[in-house]
Amino acid sequence: MSDNRFFGTHHTWEDWLGMALGVLIMVSPWFPMQVSDVVDVERSHLVLNSFVVGMLVLGLAQLEYVALHRWEEVASILLGLWLIASPAIFGYSDDRALQFWHILLGALVATIGALQLWQDWNLSEQELAKHPQ
């Protein structure tokens, strides 16, 4: 049998995907299909939430690309779960398009973080330091 380690090894494309997801989260309030094109004071909190979460996801993915640590993956999972819960917490669950995007993007961030944590769980600190290869 061949040893398929495609999902068993932490690859740099996963970090690049995390960076792209961070950018998408930052711009998600302005995606097409949004109910209103104008961001008013009532929606400013969700724009701020999207920007902060997106910047944190982007920054964590960049850190993982440079120096791999398990806490970065745990933080990514938590940020993904926060983004999933954000429509209910901030009360914009009536905006179905933005709710859909935040749930989808949050699930992707959490899934990538969980995959990376699973891949790196049994690695020693020296093996983590060798990333990227």
Task: Please give the model's pTM, rounded to 2 decimal places.
Answer: 0.80
Give the HSE-up count for residue 57: Cα atoms under 13 Å, Cβ half-sphere: 35
- Note the pLDDT of residue 93: 76
Interhelix angle 70-90/44-66, nearest 10 degrees: 170
CA separation for the pair 42, 32 (Å, rounded): 20
* Domain residue limits, the chain: 22-33+40-123
Greater confidence (61 vs 70) lies with: 61
- Note the pLDDT of residue 3: 44
Tell me the pLDDT tens digit for each residue of 73-120.
899 999 999 999 999 998 887 778 889 999 999 999 999 999 888 887
- Note the pLDDT of residue 24: 95
**Per-residue DSSP letter, 29:** G
Burial class (CB in 10 A: 0-12, 13-18, 19+), 4: exposed
